[in-house]
Amino acid sequence: MKRLLALCAVLLLMCGCASSYLNESEGDQIAPVPENDRAAASVVMPLYFRFYTEPMLLRYSLTVDTPPQQLPEYYAISALLGGAVEARPELTRCFGRNTALQEISASGETLSVTLSEGFLSDTQGANDAETRQNRRLALYSIVNTVCEMGSFSQVQFYLYRNGLAQRPDSYQMGMVSKESDTAPLGALTRNTALILTPSSVARMGLTHYSNQAWNRLYYYLGDKEGAARKLPILEEMSQTLTYLGWTLSDFTVEDNYTVSEDGKTAYVTVSMNLRSDSASYRVENVPLELCWRGRTWLISYESLLRFLEVSA
């Protein structure tokens, strides 16, 4: 995996279900399930789980048993419904125990997936916005997984209600913003905006910093190898950032990023305005360093402190 990722290369691999996909999370490629291997006893599959309780998805490659009685996609979706990997606490299941896979069927490039009505109660949040976000993430965890397996470019969802498989409401599934848009949900294609990449990690981390949501920022921080300033426990980090006294008023994060030759470091160009009670300054087009930790890109805590520990 030794190569430099440029935006043009990312776009070429992100534009639809082609012969292989770039794993934006890990920077490698995974080939689709070959036709002559679809009856194999097990297949390595790109499964998408929620990143903690954040509104993002993280890919995890998992070997899944694939008996010949069903399409491999059936077993991939079943694995997603079954829950996350115990050894990976950052992987959160998008589905509850009331959600069952009723049926799948194939028609050309479209895979139709019917879920049980329990999906609605399993994804219920504290309010309407949270509920819609939960449902959107859950459906796209299936869509991104299925599309990256290579045989289908889109997924049509149905809910089994009152003895019938029915297309759910687009608004209730979090796919449109207007409540008046009650059109049935159409087929969904792979959504790269929800996948954790160096750029999206930087964007989410800085968003939480601007909101001073230190506990959520902590999810996106880590230590690069040989770091002189180590990430402390959450309480100490919160005290440090509060003591520094900077407020992040606005920021921009470029979508393109580069990865070092050894694949352990990524650089994202950011700009930001920082203010304190006595000073303000702007950081313009500078690289924010990220490190590869536990199959996840994280903002280097040491790199973040370099932006904050400045003279007023």
Please, is 178 exposed, middle or buried when counting C-beta atoms within 10 Å of its C-beta (0-12, 13-18, 19+)? Answer: exposed
Question: Is there a single domain that holds both residue 143 and residue 234?
Answer: no
User: Of 192, 215, 244, which marks where a domain is finished?
Assistant: 192
* Residue 1: inside a domain: no
Question: Is there a single domain that holds both residue 136 and residue 18?
Answer: yes
Tell me the residue range of the domain where 284 lies.
198-308
Contacts of residue 179, defined as CB under 8 A and 6 or more positions apart, other chains included, come to 171
The fraction of the chain above a pLDDT of 90, given in percent, is 70
Q: Look at 33 and 172; give whichever has higher pLDDT.
A: 172
Q: What's the number of domains the chain is made of?
A: 2
pLDDT per position as a tens digit, 137-192:
999 999 999 999 999 999 999 999 989 999 999 999 999 988 888 899 999 999 99
Q: For residue 27, what pLDDT band results from cuts at 50, 70 and 90?
A: very low
Mean pLDDT over 106-133 rounds to: 97
Question: Is there a single domain that holds both residue 99 and residue 216?
Answer: no
User: Of 171, 192, 213, which marks where a domain is finished?
Assistant: 192
pLDDT per position as a tens digit, 185-217:
999 999 999 999 999 999 999 999 999 999 999
Can you give the pLDDT at residue 249?
86
Question: Is there a single domain that holds both residue 98 and residue 168?
Answer: yes
Question: Is there a single domain that holds both residue 66 and residue 166?
Answer: yes
Q: For residue 277, what pLDDT band results from cuts at 50, 70 and 90?
A: confident
pLDDT per position as a tens digit, 10-20:
333 333 333 34
Can you give the pLDDT at residue 115?
98
User: Of 157, 192, 227, which marks where a domain is finished?
Assistant: 192
Question: Is there a single domain that holds both residue 243 and residue 291?
Answer: yes
Q: For residue 37, what pLDDT band results from cuts at 50, 70 and 90?
A: low
Task: Please give the C-alpha separations between residue 46 and each of 43, 64, 70, 92, 303, in angstroms, as whole numbers.
Answer: 10, 10, 18, 15, 31
Mean pLDDT over 65-87 rounds to: 89
Question: Is there a single domain that holds both residue 157 and residue 269?
Answer: no
Tokens 């313009």 — which residue?
A: 284
Coil, helix or strand at residue 248: strand
Please, is 272 exposed, middle or buried when counting C-beta atoms within 10 Å of its C-beta (0-12, 13-18, 19+)? Answer: buried
Q: Is residue 233 scored above 60 in pLDDT?
A: yes
Question: Is there a single domain that holds both residue 11 and residue 139?
Answer: yes
pTM for the full predicted model: 0.84
Q: Is residue 309 scored above 50 in pLDDT?
A: yes
Please, is 282 exposed, middle or buried when counting C-beta atoms within 10 Å of its C-beta (0-12, 13-18, 19+)? Answer: exposed
CB-CB contact of 116 with 96 (8 Å):
no
Q: Is residue 101 scored above 90 in pLDDT?
A: yes
Mean pLDDT over 63-85 rounds to: 90
